[in-house]
Structure 1
Amino acid sequence: MSSLNDGWEALEFPKLDRHTRYDLVQEDGQQVVRATADNSASGLISRLSLAPRDSLMLRWRWKVSRVFEDGDARQKSGDDYPARIYVAFKFQPDKAGFFERAKRKAVEVLFGETLPGNALNYIWANRLPEGEFIANAYTDKTVMVAVNSGPQDTGQWQTVERDIVADYRQAFGESPPPIVGIAIMTDSDNTGATATAWYGDLTLHDR
């Protein structure tokens, strides 16, 4: 990767004007993405169109400077993570109610972007135990999966590998639709905290 423009684009949110900074840096002899959050939220997303089969493995390395003292995946006020990987799936209108479809259409008209459907968020949690799945505090269309938890491994590289298909089935009770995007995100807009995270070697492969 020669720049962050190679296959990645900014993922920003309406009404949030403080954005996390992302830089391509050398860290421990490897080229990685460094994210710096200061009461901010935004991400980098790679748009995809990928229909997973029986399994699809997502593997990455990451490191964080700290966890957030007030971080709590069960509360809106604590819905911040020093590092997360966001996997977005195609919206399935045949499984949505009338009001959900209407609301989504209104947002798309206003912001000019087709919204994804369900999502998995792999997080470095503060209080949520490692391995736990819970619905996001804002929407049950997103399920949070704690793959690291607590401060004990901060400052150290951690390697994570997850089967997206198996995790989607556990989270939503059915096989996944096509993947439309994978994002990295370091956010601290709810807690007002600061943190730095490093992301490297994010790959998709069959089992």
Structure 2
Amino acid sequence: MILMGVLLSFGMAGANEKVEVGRFSAGDLSGWESKRFEGDTRYRLIDIDGLSVLKAESQASASGLYKKQRIDLFKTPYLNWRWRIMRRLSKRDELEKSGDDYVARVYVVVSGGWAFWKTRAINYVWSGNQAKGMVWPNAFAGDHAMMMALRDRRDSVAVWYRERRNVLEDLQRLFGERIRYVDAVALMTDSDNGGGQAESLYGDIYFSER
């Protein structure tokens, strides 16, 4: 009976494999690097209700955080995170370069290596003017970086929302390929193109088997 209990416990522990990417609740930013596009969005860990989260504040700026981490989507295809916005951006056309700002976005990157033109990305965004569920090419990168609205202006400010996306299926649908590996995960709050201020919070980010 004891042996059976041990075997069951190992089976249950491995039943849903989890790969951590952002351990913000542990106060851990190790491995995350900054990428600056225009000005600096301020990222810092803060405590809310006794839990550490990542806060982003943008004032006409665009810089993000990214973490190089190879993820096997055949094993852990689901990307999980939670986010919350504290200040909206004014409404703008996100299909145009002048409106390519997002109060919050989490994205995955598939590196093309030396063939940089083969690099692809999916940006899961909190949209300011596109309806939830809409998909469109990035205004600057074209169809190499696809935008997907998971939240829109109908979603509340100062409320946490949990997200879970099957990245393997999303890559297949958007790029027509069954891509096994993701090479990096990034997040960004930006307001450089249209100006203004944006403020958001990000919780832990991880991949899971289901």
| Smaller-chain TM-score bracket | 0.7 to 0.9
Separation in 1, partners of 2:107, 2:42: 17
Hey, which of these two has a bigger chunk of strand by percent?
2
Identify the residue that residue 141 of structure 1 maps to in structure 2: 144
Separation in 1, partners of 2:195, 2:104: 15
The residue type equivalent to 1:153 in the other structure is S
Of 149, 154, 159, the match for 1:156: 159
Task: Give the match's secondary structure for 1:170.
Answer: helix
Separation in 2, partners of 1:152, 1:177: 32
Task: Give the match's secondary structure for 1:65.
Answer: strand
Indicate conservation of the 8 Å contact 1:88/1:116, yes or no.
no
CA RMSD of aligned residues (A): 1.9
Separation in 2, partners of 1:167, 1:63: 23
Task: Give the match's secondary structure for 1:141.
Answer: strand
**Within 5 Å, which residues of 2 pair with 1:103-122?**
104=116, 117-122=119-124
Runs of 4+ off more than 6 Å: none
Where structure 1 has 5 or more consecutive residues not aligned to the other structure, the ranges are: 94-100, 105-114
The residue type equivalent to 2:183 in the other structure is V
- Count how many residue pairs are aligned between Structure 1 and Structure 2: 184
TM-aligned CA deviation for residue 28 of structure 1: 2.8
Task: Give the match's secondary structure for 1:19.
Answer: coil
Is 1:57 paired with 2:78?
yes
Identify the residue that residue 30 of structure 1 maps to in structure 2: 51
Of 42, 47, 68, the match for 2:63: 42
Q: Structure 2 length as normaliser, TM-score?
A: 0.81
Is 1:202 paired with 2:194?
no
Task: Give the match's secondary structure for 2:143.
Answer: coil
Identify the residue that residue 132 of structure 1 maps to in structure 2: 134
Indicate conservation of the 8 Å contact 1:54/1:165, yes or no.
no
Indicate conservation of the 8 Å contact 2:27/2:52, yes or no.
no
TM-aligned CA deviation for residue 178 of structure 1: 2.0
Separation in 2, partners of 1:189, 1:68: 11
TM-aligned CA deviation for residue 3 of structure 1: 4.4
After superposing the two structures, state which structure 1 stretch, 187-196 or 172-181, moved more: 172-181
